Chain A
Amino acid sequence: MERWILVSIIIGVYLAVTLTIGLLAGRRQSHSVAGYVAGDRSFGLLVMYFVTGASVFSAFAFLGGPGWAYSRGAAAFYILAYGAVGMAPFYWIGPRISSLGRRHGYVTQAQLLVGRFPSRSLSTLIALLSLIAFVPYITLQMRGAGIVIETVTDGNIPLWLGALVAYGIVIVYVLGAGVMAVGWTNTFQGIFMVVIAWTLGLYLPTKMYGGVGAMFERIAEFRPELLIPPGLDASGEPWSWGAYSSLILVSMVGLMMWPHLFMKAFAAKDDDTMRRTVILFPTFQLFLVPVFLIGFAGVLFPQSPPAPDFILPFMVLETGLPPLVVGLFCAGALSASMSTGDALLHAAASVVVEDGIGPYKKLTDHQQRLLMRALVLLVGAAAYVAALDPDSSLVLLLATAYGIISQFAPTVVAGLYWKRATTAGALWGLVAGAVTAVFFWANPELKPFQIHEGILGLLVHVPVLVAVSLATPRQPDRHLTRFFSRAPSEATPPGSTPADAEGTAPPEVDGDTGPGSLPHAAR
Chain B
Amino acid sequence: MSLRAARILTGTYLVLMVIFVTWPGMVPFARIRPLILGLPFSFAWVAGWVLGALFVLVALDRVESRHREDD
- Give chain A residues whose Cβ lies under 8 Å from the Cβ of B43: 74, 77, 227, 289, 292
Q: Is B51 an interface residue (CB 8 A)?
A: yes
A282 lies within 8 A of B57 (CB):
yes
Question: Would you list which residues of chain B between 12 and 44 have a CB under 8 Å from chain A?
Answer: 14, 17-18, 21-24, 26-27, 30-33, 35, 37-40, 42-43
A80 lies within 8 A of B17 (CB):
no
Least distance between A85 CB and chain B CB atoms (Å): 5
* Bound-state Cα–Cα, A91 to B17, Å: 17
Q: Is A81 an interface residue (CB 8 A)?
A: yes
A289 lies within 8 A of B27 (CB):
no
- Give chain B residues whose Cβ lies under 8 Å from the Cβ of A214: 38
* Bound-state Cα–Cα, A230 to B43, Å: 11
* Bound-state Cα–Cα, A244 to B4, Å: 33
- Give chain B residues whose Cβ lies under 8 Å from the Cβ of A230: 30
Q: For this complex, into which size category does the number of interface residues on chain B fall?
A: 20 to 34
Q: Give the number of A-B contacts (CB < 8 Å).
A: 110
Q: For this complex, into which size category does the number of interface residues on chain A fall?
A: 35 or more
B50 lies within 8 A of A282 (CB):
yes
* Bound-state Cα–Cα, A244 to B42, Å: 14
* Bound-state Cα–Cα, A476 to B42, Å: 52
- Give chain B residues whose Cβ lies under 8 Å from the Cβ of A213: 35, 37-39
Q: Which of A128-136, A153-161, A216-224 contacts B (4 or more CB under 8 A)?
A: A216-224
- Give chain B residues whose Cβ lies under 8 Å from the Cβ of A220: 32-33, 40
Q: Is A283 an interface residue (CB 8 A)?
A: yes
- Give chain A residues whose Cβ lies under 8 Å from the Cβ of B61: 91, 275-276, 279
- Give chain B residues whose Cβ lies under 8 Å from the Cβ of A279: 54, 57-58, 60-61
Binding site for B on A (CB under 8 A): 74, 77, 80-81, 83-85, 88, 91, 211-217, 220, 224, 227-230, 241-242, 244-245, 248-249, 252, 272, 275-276, 278-283, 285-286, 289, 292
4 shortest interchain CB distances as A-B pairs: A213-B38, A212-B38, A245-B22, A241-B23
Excluding A81-B21, A229-B42, 16 further A-B contacts by CB distance (< 8 Å) are A84-B49, A212-B37, A213-B38, A216-B35, A217-B35, A220-B33, A227-B32, A228-B30, A228-B31, A228-B42, A249-B18, A275-B64, A279-B54, A279-B57, A281-B57, A289-B39
Q: List 16 A-B contacts (CB under 8 A).
A: A74-B40, A77-B42, A81-B49, A84-B53, A84-B54, A85-B53, A91-B61, A212-B37, A212-B39, A217-B35, A220-B32, A227-B42, A248-B21, A272-B65, A286-B51, A286-B54
